[in-house]
Amino acid sequence: MKNKLFSAILFLALCSFAAQASTPVTIIEKNGTENKYQIEESGKMYFSGNGLVIETKAGAPAITVNVANIRKVTFPKTSVGLDAKDSESISLFAFPNPVKDVVFLAGVKSGEKVAIYSANGSLVSETSYADEGIDLSSLPSGAYVISVVGKSVKISKL
């Protein structure tokens, strides 16, 4: 499930690489190690097997980080190719979507209150968000709305 988490985040960030001369990326591993990379316009990041491959520029040696060791990947606020004012408005993102069991939320801090509503607007669940995501395995398939601090996102449960 963590692979899907990183895939969704990286997809958004990778979309902007062509628009910028370089993009700073920070990878924080579970053991606390923090590695910073500067991805040039000719560089790339992608998944290969269980690894996150980082090529800082064309022809540079590739660095591979085991996804199981990654705790967090961060990009600058505007790295998704939006103006800073536009990036402020994108504050809640759910992935994977559609979701089978566990959904992760970007733009939500651990401990924030999360409400889940059915398609007809009925409150289905209330919980506090945790970095491990929200377990939706007990919910039937269908459309749901997740609401956090006045922001909401629609998801589909498989």
Q: Tell me the pTM.
A: 0.48
Burial status of residue 136 (CB atoms within 10 A of its CB: 0-12, 13-18, 19 or more): buried
- Provide block-wise average pLDDT over 10 residues at a time, the chain (158 residues): 51 45 81 89 80 86 86 64 44 83 87 91 92 92 90 90
Which residues have CB under 8 Å from 111's CB, separation 6+?
128, 129, 130
The tens digit of pLDDT for each residue in 12-41 reads 444 444 344 677 888 888 898 999 988 888
pLDDT tens digits for 120-136? 888 999 999 998 889 99
User: Whose CA is closest to 68, among 44, 52, 46, 48?
Assistant: 52
Residue 144 tokens read as 């749901």
What pLDDT, on the 0 to 100 scale, is given for residue 141?
94
- 142 within 8 A of 122, measured Cβ to Cβ: no
Residue ranges of domains in the chain, CATH in brackets: 2-87 (2.30.30.100), 91-157 (2.60.40)
**What is the b/e burial string over 30-65, where b = at least 16 CB atoms within 10 angstroms of the residue's CB?**
eeeeeeebebbeebbbeeeeebbebbbeeeeeeeeb
**Which pLDDT belongs to residue 77?**
56
